[in-house]
């Protein structure tokens, strides 16, 4: 298994957003549309959001134990490999071996689901585990209509410092200790996951919510270059 990963690991979604054997969550990374889900055994999955049979989005389908079923013809694909395992309309027919969903590397660390778009297996770097300090609480995910690079520049202007973990920034916003995890979703769209050590019911957390909304307004008001 390859341990090198010059391309980034992307903080795509919170781990808590995925329930074992239940929901399918849409995600993005570098323009790649993703279907995020958990098999019944709890293992997180990150797949291209496209059934290889008729290209219908997997997010319209459903999880059946350790398989993902397309909403169109019900073809089922195995967790992990993405291999087609069942065609309900033809139960006696063996599923074609050459039909597979496209799967990506996924890791869970620091309360987040991290995705690497490499097609080959990779070992996630240890730095992911320290992206968010233990005991910190999730604040919110901010959608910003701007490139991820612009978001990073603004965070640096605000005094946040790039951490060892990919796209993790630490510092203070309105005196609240903050970690900002930047997701390069699309060329002109970024998501930022904010975490803090502030109590969820405190004035500090309320102030942080206000600060991140103001930050988005400032970024989106910048001249488009």
pLDDT tens for the chain, residues 1 to 225: 444 344 699 999 999 999 998 999 999 999 999 999 999 999 999 999 999 998 899 999 999 999 999 999 889 999 999 999 988 877 767 777 789 999 999 999 999 999 999 878 899 999 999 999 999 999 999 999 999 999 999 999 999 999 988 899 999 998 899 999 999 999 999 999 999 999 999 999 999 999 999 999 999 999 876
Looking at the domain 131-220, which fold is it?
A: TATA-Binding Protein (3.30.310)
| Distance in angstroms (rounded) separating the CA atoms of residues 64 and 177 | 41
| Distance in angstroms (rounded) separating the CA atoms of residues 33 and 178 | 28
Mean pLDDT (the chain) is 92
Q: Give me the pLDDT at residue 7, please.
A: 64
Tokens, residue 32? 């790649």
Listed by start position, the domains of the chain span: 10-126, 131-220
What sign for the dihedral angle of Cα 78, 48, 100, 24? positive
Q: Collect all residues with Cβ–Cβ distance below 8 Å to 80 and sequence separation of at least 6.
A: 39, 43, 45, 103
| Interval 103-140: pLDDT, tens | 999 999 999 999 999 878 899 999 999 999 999 999 99
Looking at the domain 10-126, which fold is it?
A: Rieske Iron-sulfur Protein (2.102.10)
| Interval 75-105: pLDDT, tens | 999 999 999 998 887 776 777 778 999 999 9
Tokens 């309360």 appear where?
Answer: 111
What sign for the dihedral angle of Cα 210, 214, 155, 149? positive
């Amino acid at each position: 298994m390859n341990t090198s990963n010059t391309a980034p690991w992307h903080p795509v979604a919170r781990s808590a957003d995925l329930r074992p054997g239940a929901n399918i969550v849409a995600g993005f990374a570098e323009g790649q549309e993703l279907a995020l889900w958990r098999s019944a055994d709890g293992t997180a999955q990150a797949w291209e959001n496209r059934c290889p049979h008729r290209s219908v989005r997997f997010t319209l389908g459903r999880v059946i134990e350790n398989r993902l079923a397309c909403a169109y013809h019900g073809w089922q694909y195995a967790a992990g490999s993405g291999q087609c395992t069942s065609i309900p309309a033809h139960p006696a027919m063996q599923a074609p071996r050459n039909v597979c969903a496209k799967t990506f590397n996924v890791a869970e660390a620091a309360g987040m689901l991290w995705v690497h778009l490499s097609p080959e297996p990779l070992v996630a770097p240890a730095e992911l585990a320290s992206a968010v300090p233990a005991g910190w609480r999730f604040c919110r995910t901010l959608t910003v209509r701007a490139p991820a690079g612009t978001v990073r520049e603004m965070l640096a202007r605000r005094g946040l410092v790039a951490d060892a973990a990919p796209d993790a920034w630490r510092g203070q916003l309105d005196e609240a200790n903050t970690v900002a995890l930047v997701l390069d979703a699309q060329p002109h769209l970024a998501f930022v996951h904010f975490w803090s050590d502030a109590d969820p019911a405190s004035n500090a957390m309320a102030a942080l919510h206000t600060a991140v909304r103001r930050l988005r307004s400032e970024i989106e008001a910048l001249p488009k270059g």
